[in-house]
Structure 1
Amino acid sequence: MRDRLQTAGATAESDETIDYETVSVPVLVVGAGAAGARVAIALADRGVEPLVIGKSDHGDAHTTWAAGGINAALGSLDPEDDWTIHAADTFDEGHYINDPEAVELTAKHMPDRIRELADWGMPFDRTEDGKINQRYFGAQSFRRTCFVGDRTGEAMLDTLVAKARDMEIPYRDNVMVTRLLTDGDRVAGALGFDMESGEFLLFRSDHVVLAAGGSSALYTRHSSREDENNGDGPALAMGAGARLVDIEFVQFHPTGMVGDRYGDEWDGRLVTEAVRGEGGRLFNSEGERFMERYSPDQMELDARDVVARAIAQEIREGRGTEHGGVYLDISHRDDEYIRDRLPSMVERFGSLGVDITEEPMEVAPTAHYSMGGVDIDFSTGETGVDGLYAVGETVAGVHGANRLGGNSLAETVAIGKLVGEHVAERADDEPPTLTDGQRALAEREFSALAELEASDGGATPRALLTELGEILWHHAGILRDESSLREGLAELDALRSRTTDLRVEGDRTSRAFEFAVDLSFSLPIAQAMLEAALERTESRGAHYRTDYTGTDADWRKNILVSEGTAGLSLRSRGVAEPGPEVQEALDNGYELDYHHLE
């Protein structure tokens, strides 16, 4: 269906109109990574045909960059492991501000989800007796991380996409959503444009599921591609009236590639935790295996926040490499073992002239994952806004103050299935109609986008996004304090004032226009990160305040952020207790013994 609207400033007699396409569907899934795919499969299983839309080509989502593995308490190598210990490790890593329902649902459902993926053809590495193999991952008490070499995320998304195609689930790629369609009380669809043709799109649906990723790519040094994790999922939800939670918690992965050594295009790209899970060791420029000083029991496989701060400390105190990193070395392991377990790392570094079977890699921390996101009910995906659901890295709750490695992929499929099943119970096959109010909102949005496209000021969106990344890296990075956070907020205000003077060099199919839209998402999420980090006057997990270095029991609570009439509104909420089975596992104090790897 095609509609037309007059552009702003056009007269009744003018020919200045904009065409847009209207698409009506029972359920719209925004985001085509693992979470969106698993939601769509659950919907189709229940007889509801969703439409899945994504910003990139089908099967090319950020999920593919989750390389090391996916957690499930299968007990393939350590039979004493079970879901309660998986949950306990998740709470330990999250410093006890996780949502207990979210953690327990994920841990409890993951063995079935792994077996399901295997049945659908995911080629998990196997033990000699045919069981799904499992490796150590940071801060896990047992070998729990299932894997496909070091390309687990890619293999999982391939499997999910193949399943969705077998079920003939409709998919539309290269679509960017700019705003959710609301009537003041509920969500009724989404607005955006086709990134290849530039055509404006109105998706009319009474049920919208956001699975659009997180916001870690706001930082100047990050592990994502530049068109991913820009904050669009959380920003779209907050703009529609949903709350964010835990947005101050951003995970800095200990091992990102060092651009000064490998080139700007590789700066911050992830060096999978699987390298350390298979026995990789960290050394400073003096040849010291420095984790012996920071974590003598868990060494390189301590929690990600601990290892990241240790590396940052070594670099800050002058024991880093000339390129600003430290060394990660796996060369003591057998060459064939490395090639079998870490084929992608061997190939990537080999293309850059580094044979990791013979020499170390240079690494440094990189922004990697957003623990914070949309506040949801985890058994349903409901956001508190009627008709709007969310899942995956767009949401918060499973991970608390710091994410356990291997839990990101786990959350997508464990919670994605539950959310899809819940939405299917509420979806109506009758095509929803478009009200006059919704049409008017759409036309205002498309007029605003047309004006944005024509912007010819002095500041480019890419330049402003780069500055925004520097503000966050320097003021809301691994180490934070009140003075720096306030300085960051002041710099953010100054940057925001310059967005009135944008210059978009290109039409709606250009990267410049995409970056301009990204800016509208990134600014409110950056503001929320800085304000919440300032509010939390303690250190907990990935949030480390140099002026409040201790963990404060009174701060065992979540910070909620919502849009108010005078800007962002912040309040805190207490945290529920784990269930009795998980509490028993916590009381038993399970812990990784790193030296099994020696």
Structure 2
Amino acid sequence: MTLQRQKYDVLVIGAGGAGLRAAVEAREAGLSVAIICKSLFGKAHTVMAEGGAAASMGNVNDNDNWMVHFRDTMRGGKFLNHYRMAELHAKEAPDRIWELEMWGALFDRTKEGKISQRNFGGHEYPRLAHVGDRTGLELIRTMQQKIVQLQQKDGREFGDMEAKIKVFAECTITEILKENGKIAGAYGYWRETGEEILFEAPAVVIATGGVGKTFKITSNSWEGTGDGHALALKAGANLVDMEFLQFHPTGMVWPPSVRGILVTESVRGEGGILTNSEGERFMFKYIPDVFKDKYADNEAEADRWYED
């Protein structure tokens, strides 16, 4: 069996929102980029991010700003967050939303024509820029189109649309390669044929998502098996905060054919309530102390807030 070889400046493993954004940045910096997609291009788990993207744009409540967003983020993480990452996210989120719009994303609008923002758990103000209940799908569509635009530009300049940025779909990476202590590329195989492929690259971006598919019932797609964690660990990287696992708190349970399908958090943001098998609104028992002054303590108080 012949070993295929490819050579690029940057190898991006993962074709979700993070991976595609990294690929765009690398290509616009003048580097050649390979994007590795474990499944079909466009099938990344990012499409399951239905509710919206948090950004303190202040379109619904002009009291909102990045500092309030930062505070909400730190509170939501019980101050265990990496504060610098939370700060960068809060500061840069509005510009990233505008960037997506400039690239063709079609966000819902307010009556005044601004990007609409909805309520979400843990946020002081309506902050979630959204596209109905399919925000993640629109994000991936927009990022894919941006990749195509870059390829078209390269096609005009080099005579080959895939000369500088190429997507390798249905390809699984099994090992990050190093030479003399430095990253040298990655090794993998084509899922359909089993043929091996070697990527030579001095820089590798791991954007492979989480480990949600290790659970029997999950809203995660089949690709979320922790590949990136294993690749990084084997390559000598340190894994941190492994006790924290992102999960979605609401999903379908019946009938079995839809078990695990996500029920977007925006359902609760729009007034939906959680009850147990006895009809009790049980979440009042679990409000963190840091949020006691921001949330109702009981059902009657919650109803008064809603009516106000």
Provide the rounded CA distance (Å) in 2 between the counterparts of 1:102 and 1:132.
25
2:282 is matched with: 290
Given candidates 66, 69, 86, the residue that maps to 1:86 is: 69
Unmatched 5+ residue regions in structure 1?
A: 1-17, 296-305, 307-550, 552-585
Q: CA shift at 1:596, angstroms?
A: 4.9
Is 1:170–2:163 an aligned residue pair?
no
Is the CA contact 1:142–1:592 (under 8 Å) kept in the aligned structure 2? no
Number of residues of Structure 1 aligned to a counterpart in Structure 2: 288
2:184 is matched with: 188
Provide the rounded CA distance (Å) in 1 between the counterparts of 2:106 and 2:306.
25
Deviation digits for residues 135-188 of structure 1 (CA, Å, limit 9, x no counterpart): 111111111111111111001110011011111132111100011111351211
Aligned-partner SS, 1:47: coil
1:519 is matched with: none
Provide the rounded CA distance (Å) in 2 between the counterparts of 1:122 and 1:54.
22
1:158 is matched with: 141
Q: Check 1:62–1:183 CA distance in 2 against 1; reply closer, same or farther (3 A cut).
A: same
2:160 is matched with: none
Provide the rounded CA distance (Å) in 2 between the counterparts of 1:182 and 1:221.
37
Provide the rounded CA distance (Å) in 1 between the counterparts of 2:192 and 2:74.
43
Is 1:98–2:98 an aligned residue pair?
no
Aligned-partner SS, 2:246: strand
Aligned-partner SS, 1:154: helix
Q: CA shift at 1:57, angstroms?
A: 1.2
Is the CA contact 1:64–1:154 (under 8 Å) kept in the aligned structure 2? yes
Provide the rounded CA distance (Å) in 1 between the counterparts of 2:295 and 2:278.
28
Given candidates 38, 51, 71, the residue that maps to 1:68 is: 51
Aligned-partner SS, 2:248: strand
Is 1:143–2:126 an aligned residue pair?
yes
Q: CA shift at 1:115, angstroms?
A: 0.7
Provide the rounded CA distance (Å) in 2 between the counterparts of 1:244 and 1:184.
22
Aligned-partner SS, 2:26: helix
1:219-368 to 2 correspondences below 5 Å: 219-226=215-222, 228-258=223-253, 261-263=254-256, 265-295=257-287
Report the TM-score when normalising by structure 2: 0.88
Q: Check 1:191–1:137 CA distance in 2 against 1; reply closer, same or farther (3 A cut).
A: same
Q: CA shift at 1:291, angstroms?
A: 3.1
Is the CA contact 1:188–1:204 (under 8 Å) kept in the aligned structure 2? yes
Q: CA shift at 1:597, angstroms?
A: 4.0
Q: CA shift at 1:41, angstroms?
A: 0.9
Provide the rounded CA distance (Å) in 1 between the counterparts of 2:16 and 2:108.
22
Over alpha carbons, which structure has the higher Rg? 1
Is the CA contact 1:73–1:110 (under 8 Å) kept in the aligned structure 2? yes
Q: Which amino acid aligns with 1:224?
A: N
1:532 is matched with: none
Flag the structure with higher helix content.
Answer: 1
Is the CA contact 1:191–1:201 (under 8 Å) kept in the aligned structure 2? yes
Is the CA contact 1:31–1:211 (under 8 Å) kept in the aligned structure 2? yes
Is 1:205–2:198 an aligned residue pair?
no
Is 1:35–2:18 an aligned residue pair?
yes
Q: CA shift at 1:293, angstroms?
A: 4.5
1:119 is matched with: 102
Q: CA shift at 1:274, angstroms?
A: 0.9
Provide the rounded CA distance (Å) in 1 between the counterparts of 2:295 and 2:104.
31
Provide the rounded CA distance (Å) in 1 between the counterparts of 2:286 and 2:190.
50
Q: Which amino acid aligns with 2:15?
A: A
Provide the rounded CA distance (Å) in 2 between the counterparts of 1:252 and 1:597.
27
Provide the rounded CA distance (Å) in 2 between the counterparts of 1:251 and 1:209.
21
Aligned-partner SS, 1:281: coil
Aligned-partner SS, 2:185: strand
Provide the rounded CA distance (Å) in 1 between the counterparts of 2:35 and 2:147.
10
Provide the rounded CA distance (Å) in 2 between the counterparts of 1:220 and 1:184.
41
Q: CA shift at 1:235, angstroms?
A: 0.9
Aligned-partner SS, 2:39: coil
Aligned-partner SS, 2:249: strand
Provide the rounded CA distance (Å) in 2 between the counterparts of 1:232 and 1:53.
13
Q: Check 1:276–1:19 CA distance in 2 against 1; reply closer, same or farther (3 A cut).
A: same
Aligned-partner SS, 2:2: strand
